[in-house]
Structures are given as C-alpha cells and as structure tokens.
Structure 1
Amino acid sequence: MTETPNQNTKKSDALLSDFKARMKIFHSSEDDYLKSILEASTMEILQLCGEFDVLTYPLGKELIFERSRYAYNDQLEFFYPNFQESILNISFDLMVGETDGN
C-alpha cells in the first residue's frame, strides 16, 4: 500500500513533533533540517531492519530518533556500533512477526 503525499506529510510532521519534544527543541528555525535528518534516519533504519509503521512501532521509532540524535550532534559514526544489538533485535522481531502471519 502506497501512501499519498498528504499522508507522508502528516507522518513527517508527527515524527518531527515527537522528536522535537524528545530533544527539548522548542523553536521552529531548524524544522527543515530536522525533517531531513528524520527522513534519512527513517530510510536507513527501514533498510537495515525491515518495514514497519514509524509512528506505531515504538522500538523502530526509538531507533530512528536515536540515529537522528546522533546525526543532529554530528556523531553519526558512533551510532552503528552503539546500537548494533538493537538493530539486530528489531530486525529479528520484524522477521519473526512476518513469518507468524504466513
């Protein structure tokens, strides 16, 4: 199922709002920059772990936020070694969930 541009915008805005709350960012001057970080993080985590709904799967959303936090603080090279176990666990969790439905 493909999402419409309007659905993508709503999902992007919701993710941005949640991320800003988590990071305690109260201004909007960096919103475009933060959206680009969140988009890149979402694409990377989905590619590494598998498909999931970024707003309703809390472990995946958390991993997206962590990668985004590292990117925001120019420390992205430390994300992968620090979260390798989480990436593997989520990948396995999603894989097991897929096979349960077949």
Structure 2
Amino acid sequence: MMSDTPEKIDEKTDALLSDFKARMKIFHSSEDDYLKSILEASTAEIFELCGEFDPSTYPRGKELIFERSRYAYNDQLEFFYPNFQESILNISFDLMEGDTDGN
C-alpha cells in the first residue's frame, strides 16, 4: 500500500469499510472515521506481520484484517495476537510462497 496514491488508499479503505460494516452489522455512518482509522491501523499491522497483499483479491488476508479490526473495535486487541497466531503464520507462509488465491 505504501506505493499507492492517497486517493487509491482512500478507495481501498472505503471498500474495506463497507465490507467491515456489513460484517459487523453496523448500519449508521456516525463511526465511519473511527472505523476507517481502525481498518487502516489493522491493515498496516497485518502487512507488517505477514507482508503486503491486496485485500480485495486475497480473502484470507482480508479476513485477518477484519478480525484484528473487530478486536480493536471491541477494545479486546490484546487477545487478537494469541488467538490468531496460527493464521498470521499461515498467511505469512502463503505470501512468501506467492499463494494468494485464497485457498
């Protein structure tokens, strides 16, 4: 994401926001800025831990971003890392091997 323009980053975050709100059953827009900041932080953290990928084409990575965001939204972030350690490692290995087809 670092090489993307600010407009591209905003587009990607907006797409993630829409999907995340649907998943979390959030139907209002009063928290959109807060949710965007959570999604941006979660994306940056997952990219740091696993490597960069396109969330729109790699469902396992997008799921991990959403899970971290869910934990952050519910003020339970300290439980994310131990609960998702295996997923973090598996996605890291997938990205090292270039396997981002979502299988």
How much does 1:2 deviate? 2.1
How much does 1:20 deviate? 0.2
**TM-score, structure 1 as length reference:** 0.92
Counterpart residue identity of residue 34, structure 1: L
Cα distance in 2 between the residues matched to 1:45 and 1:2: 17
Deviates more, 1:3-12 or 1:70-79: 3-12
Quote the residue 2:36 is aligned against. 35
Name which one, 1 or 2, has greater alpha-carbon Rg.
Answer: 1
Give the unaligned 5+ runs of structure 1. none
Cα distance in 1 between the residues matched to 2:81 and 2:9: 27
Alignment map for 1:1-102 (pairs within 5 Å): 2-97=3-98
For the aligned residues, what is the CA RMSD?
1.3
Cα distance in 1 between the residues matched to 2:16 and 2:49: 19
- 1:28-82: CA deviations, max 9, x gaps? 0000000000000000000000110122110000000000000000000000000
**TM-score, structure 2 as length reference:** 0.91
Cα distance in 2 between the residues matched to 1:43 and 1:89: 18
How much does 1:9 deviate? 1.1
Deviates more, 1:2-11 or 1:79-88: 2-11
Following TM superposition, the consecutive aligned residue runs of length 4 or more in structure 1 with deviations greater than 3 angstroms are none
* SS class of match (1:29): coil
Give the unaligned 5+ runs of structure 2. none
Is the helix fraction higher in 1 or 2? 1
Cα distance in 2 between the residues matched to 1:89 and 1:2: 25
